[in-house]
Amino acid sequence: MSLQAVLDRIDAELPQSLDRLFHLLRIESISTDPAYATPCVEAADWLVNQLRTIGLDASRRDTPGHPMVVAHGGDKGPHLLFYGHYDVQPVDPLELWTAPPFEPAIRETPNGKTIVARGSSDDKGQLMTFVEALRAWKTVEGDFPARITILFEGEEESGSPSLVPFLKENADELRADLALVCDTGMWDQNTPAISTMLRGLASEEVTIHAADRDLHSGMYGGPAINPIRVLTRILAGLHDDTGRITLPGFYDGVHDLPPEIKAQWDGLNFDASEFLGAVGLSTPAGEQGYSALEQIWSRPTCEVNGIWGGYTGKGFKTVLPAEAHAKVSFRLVGDQDPNAILESFRNYIESSLPPDCTASFARKEPSGATMLPVDAPEFTKARDALTEEWPNPAVFAGCGGSIPIVGHFREILGMDSLLIGFGQDDDAIHSPNEKYDLRSFHKGTRSWARVLSALSDQN
C-alpha cells in the first residue's frame, strides 16, 4: 500500500471533488422546515448514489422524519463508523447573504480561497472530506483500508428526533470498534485538533404564576406580588460573587483538569482579551480562578438564555403581569448528572417562592458530558497522522458546545468517538455567508486518508 499514491490521487482529483461537493451544496436540505422535505430526500438519494459509485453497499433508510443514509464496505482491519449530517440550517436573514446561499462559489479572501454556501462547513463540506478520502483509497488500492460503516443523518439541525430510535433499532448493524465524527473544527488555521471533552446540556423553562390576570399597576402596585420581581431575584441567586453556581450538589462529578491536558491548553496561548474583544467585551465573567479557555472547555455553566413577562411592545402598558418566564440552560462536564441538576434547580425555584406564587416547568431531554480516552492508542495514532499533514502538531482540545451523537454512540452502541473536523472559527455556521476554507476541504480529505492509514496500521 502506498499512502503517498492515495494523497497524490486526492490532489489530482480536487477539481472533481469540488464539483461533487458543489452538487450537494445546491440541494436545499433544510430539515427544520417541512417545505424542504423533498430536497432532504434528494440529498439522501444523491449521497446513496455517490457511495455506491465508490463501492459501498449504500441505502436510504426512511424514518418518521428525514431519511438516514447507511453504507458498508471493506472486509479487513478495524471496523470504523463515520457519522455526518446532510441537513442544513435555514438561510434567514436572506438579505444579509452576498450571494444566493444555495449557489456555491469560490471566493478569494485575505486568508485564501473559501467555499461560500449554506452547509459548506456545517456539515456537507466536512462529510465530503471523508467520502473523497474513501474514493481515493478505492481508486488507488481497489479496496478500503478498514471495514467501513457510514451513517449520514438528515435531522441534526432540527434536534435529531429520529436518531435515537434508529440507533436502537439498528444497533447490531451500526456497532463498530470506533466512531469517527467530522462536525468540529481546528484550533487555528495551521493547528488541527481532536476534540476530547464535550460539555453536556440540560435546560429548563420556568414560569412563575401569581395573580389570575394582569393587574393595573396603579390599582395593585404595592400589595400585589410581581412575578417578574420574584423571578429576577431567584435567578440572580444562581451565582455567587465569584461566579460559582449555588445550586446544592451542582459540582458533584466535576473533576480537576489533568495536569498534562492543562499544560497543553496553556501552551495554546489563548488570548482571552482578543477572544472577548472580537465581540465587544473585555473581562472574563466566569468562575474566578480558571482561565477563559478552562471556563469554555472544562467548567460547567448556568446561563439565563431568555427572560420575559408583562408588556414588551412599544410604549408603556402599566401592568403587573400574571406570569414571568425564563429559559435557563446548564453546560455540564465530567460526571455531572443532568437529571439531578434539573431536580436541584426545580427545588431551588420552589423553595424560593413567596406566598401567592407558584412555578411550572418545561424541560428538554438532557444529555451528560463526554470525556474521551486520550490515552487510547487510536487517539495517539490519529494525532500523529494529523500532525504529518498540517504545519503545527495536532492538539487535544475541549469543546464548549454539546454533540449529543457522541453520547448516543457510547450509550447505545457501546463505542467511543474520534472527533476530527476542519472548520474554522470564522466559518459563520448557522449564519449568512457561511464558508469553508478550500484549504480545509483539501487538506481535510488528505487528513482522513492519513488517519485511515494510521488506524488500520498501514504505512
pLDDT number for residue 2: 86
400 three-state secondary structure: coil
Mean pLDDT of the chain: 95
pLDDT tens-place string over residues 378-406: 999 999 999 999 999 999 998 888 788 99
CA atoms within 13 A on the CB side of 319: 17
Which residue from 436, 441, 453 is spatially nearest to 131, judged by alpha carbons?
A: 441
> Could you tell me which residues come within 8 angstroms of residue 375 by beta carbon, excluding any fewer than 6 positions away?
none
Nearest one of 99, 197, 4 to 432, comparing CA atoms? 99
Secondary structure percentages of the chain, helix, strand, coil, to 5? 35, 25, 40
Sketch out the chain's domains with CATH numbers.
Answer: 3-198+371-455 (3.40.630.10), 200-254+300-363 (3.30.70.360)
Q: How far apart are CA 327 and CA 141, in angstroms?
A: 54
Residue-wise pLDDT for 7-56, tens only, equals 999 999 999 999 999 999 999 999 999 999 999 999 999 999 999 999 99
Per-residue pLDDT at 1? 57
Percentage of residues in the chain having pLDDT higher than 90: 90
- 201: Cβ–Cβ under 8 A, 6 or more apart, which residues? 329, 330, 331, 332, 338, 366, 367, 402, 404
The least confident of 117-131, 145-159, 211-225, 360-374 is 360-374
Contacts of 19 (CB under 8 A, 6+ apart): none
**Predicted pLDDT of residue 459:** 52
Q: Are 200 and 332 in contact (CB under 8 A)?
A: yes
What is the full DSSP assignment across 194-256?
EEEEE-EEEEEEEEEE-SSS-EEHHHHBTTB--HHHHHHHHHHTTB-TTS-B-STTTTTT--P
Q: In terms of pTM, does the model score above 0.75?
A: yes
Q: What is the pLDDT of residues 248-259, one digit of tens each?
A: 999 999 999 888
- Reading the block at residue 287, the C-alpha cell is 468562575
Q: Is the pLDDT of residue 458 over 70?
A: no
For residue 217, count other CB atoms closer than 10 A to its CB: 17
Q: What confidence tens digit (pLDDT) does each residue in 72-92 have?
A: 999 999 999 999 999 999 999
118, 105 Cβ separation under 8 angstroms: no
pLDDT greater at residue 326 or residue 398: 326
Residue type, 227: P
CB burial string 60-69: b at 16+ within 10 A, e below: beebebbbbb
130/46 Cα distance (integer angstroms) = 16
Mean pLDDT over residues 113-127, rounded? 98
DSSP letter, residue 257 = P
CA distance 314 to 319: 14
